[in-house]
């Protein structure tokens, strides 16, 4: 069991994703508990990439409920028709928001959050299990590199569900 991760400090995000993806795969590959895997993924992403907030929301009884996360206190429940997380859940697509204040219906869990990326997580049957939500305290902080890197990590997690 890994107790730490290794990555090159100061490297660009693409390189860091390349370094941490195999480590996340090793960390969660043999574990079937979704909560444990979400917790470790959030911790690795926050440590390696320094994001303001990283966490999961999971579908529970017709809404998204806060799961494991790293960062400040967060919104506990999100309706499917609200916010970036609800939008990613209902459209089943990754959403990159360069400026959260410009996103209609954005839910301000923290006024320090400036940009956001949300990736849907699918279960083995193709239903949406939940979303991976990553917030930055900088405007326009996410790109296709993040969509691809985080998408690969989400696919690794989906394989454990």
Phi, psi of 96 (to 5 degrees): -110, 125
Which region, left, alpha or beta, applies to residue 14 given φ > 0 means left and ψ of -120 to 50 means alpha?
alpha
* Within-domain flag for 4: no
Q: How confident is the model at residue 114 (pLDDT cuts 50, 70, 90)?
A: very high
Residue 5 lies in a domain: no
- pLDDT exceeds cutoff 60 at 87: yes
DSSP class of residue 34?
A: H
Domain with residue 138: its CATH number is 3.30.450.40
Could you tell me the end-to-end alpha-carbon distance of the chain, in angstroms, rounded to an integer?
19
**Global pTM value:** 0.95
C-beta of residue 100 within 8 angstroms of C-beta of residue 124? no
Helix/strand/coil for 134: strand
Contact 78, 61 (CB under 8 A): no
- How many domains does the chain divide into? 1
Please state, rounded to an integer, the average pLDDT across all residues of the chain: 94
Structural domain includes residue 134 = yes
2 lies in a domain?
no
Residue 124 lies in a domain: yes
Category of 136 on φ-ψ map: left (φ > 0), alpha (ψ -120 to 50) or beta: beta
Identify the pLDDT of residue 107. Answer: 78
Residue 8 lies in a domain: no
Please tell me the distance from the alpha carbon of residue 108 to that of residue 83, in angstroms, as a whole number: 9
* pLDDT cut 70: percent of the chain above it: 98
77-94 exposure pattern, b = at least 16 Cβ within 10 A, e = fewer = ebeeebbbbbbbbeeeeb
Residue 101 DSSP code: G
Report, as an integer, the average pLDDT of 67-73.
97
Residue 128 lies in a domain: yes
Q: Which of 53-57, 111-115, 121-125 is predicted with the least confidence, judged by mean pLDDT?
A: 111-115
- Domain holding 72, by residue range, is 13-158
pLDDT tens-digit map of 30-56: 999 999 999 999 999 999 999 999 999
Give mean pLDDT, residues 61-86: 95
Is residue 7 in a domain?
A: no
């Amino acid at each position: 069991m890994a107790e730490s991760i290794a990555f090159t400090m100061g490297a660009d995000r693409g390189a860091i994703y390349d370094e941490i993806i195999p480590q996340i795969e090793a960390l969660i590959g043999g574990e079937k508990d979704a909560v444990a895997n979400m917790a470790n993924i959030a911790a690795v992403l926050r440590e390696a990439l320094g994001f303001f907030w990283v966490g999961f929301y999971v579908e529970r009884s017709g809404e998204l409920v806060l799961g494991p996360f790293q960062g400040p206190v967060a919104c506990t429940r999100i309706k499917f028709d609200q916010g970036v997380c609800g939008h990613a859940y209902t459209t089943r697509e990754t959403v990159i928001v360069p400026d959260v204040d410009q996103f209609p219906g954005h839910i301000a869990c923290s006024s320090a959050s400036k940009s956001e990326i949300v990736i849907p997580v699918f279960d083995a049957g193709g239903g949406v299990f939940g979303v991976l939500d990553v917030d930055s305290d900088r405007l326009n902080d996410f790109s296709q590199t993040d969509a691809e890197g985080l998408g690969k990590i989400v696919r690794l997690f989906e394989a454990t569900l």
